[in-house]
Amino acid sequence: MIDMGVVSAAAQYVEEVLSKEGFRHVSAVVANCKMLVAEIEGQGEENSNIDLNALILAGYLHDISTAAQGFHDHQVKSAEMAVEFLQELDAPAELINKVERAILTHAGPLPAEQRESIPLESRILYDADKLGRLSGLAIITSFIELGSRFPNRAVTGEVLAAILRHIEERFVELYQSLNTAPAREMAKTKFGNTLAFLDGVIEHLTDATPV
């Protein structure tokens, strides 16, 4: 059963600390966590003894340090801040440990041979966080980031095609890194549509037409 007191306190804390965009992201991650848990428990394919309190708290708190320190190694600082916050609420040590571990492992893909040894809460949080990146919107985000990093760079069709190929490779790697079958199923349609779009644009740009 979800401890709404602690969860509500965490949600309020995160909303105060993060930007509106950041809070929308973590709220979407929490929603993804809940959907994945429902699918996993419904299919009964995995050990579904999931600590929903720990998972939801980790979902809200996993990016808490980014407002002040950015995303470089943010999982480490966010885990520290989450532990401090939950200790102030006198949360049980076991719950705090689960939240900390889930946050520490959410940023990067887990090696395939290690996935089964990682707590299910950690695997679900990773998947929930990455689902939003497997859509066409992530392409727009990538271009915005590229434009901010290289504002004066001339872009030809050849350069753009190379960038899109790199994005496509990253999309495939990200999809393959998902830990749970429900996450892969949820992402399949958007992932397929995005790949088809990228392939079409890359084919169109093969003549390296100036943009």
Structure tokens at 50: 């999931």
pLDDT in tens, 113-142: 777 788 999 999 999 999 877 766 666 766
Rounded mean pLDDT of the chain?
84
Same domain, 120 and 59: yes
Query: What CATH number is attached to the domain comprising 50?
Result: 1.10.3210.10
Same domain, 25 and 112: yes
Highest mean pLDDT among 75-84, 143-152, 170-179 belongs to 75-84
Q: How far apart are CA 204 and CA 1, in angstroms?
A: 53
Q: How far apart are CA 22 and CA 18, in angstroms?
A: 5
pTM summary value: 0.82
pLDDT in tens, 170-190: 888 888 999 999 999 988 888
Last residue of a domain, one of 116, 132, 148: 132
Instruction: Kindly report each contact of residues 82-88 with a partner whose C-beta sits within 8 Å and lies 24 or more positions away, as own/partner.
Output: 82/57, 82/58, 85/10, 85/13, 85/61, 86/6, 86/10, 86/57
| pLDDT of the residue at 26 | 94
| pLDDT of the residue at 98 | 95
Same domain, 97 and 172: no
Q: Give the number of domains in the chain.
A: 2
Q: How far apart are CA 142 and CA 137, in angstroms?
A: 9
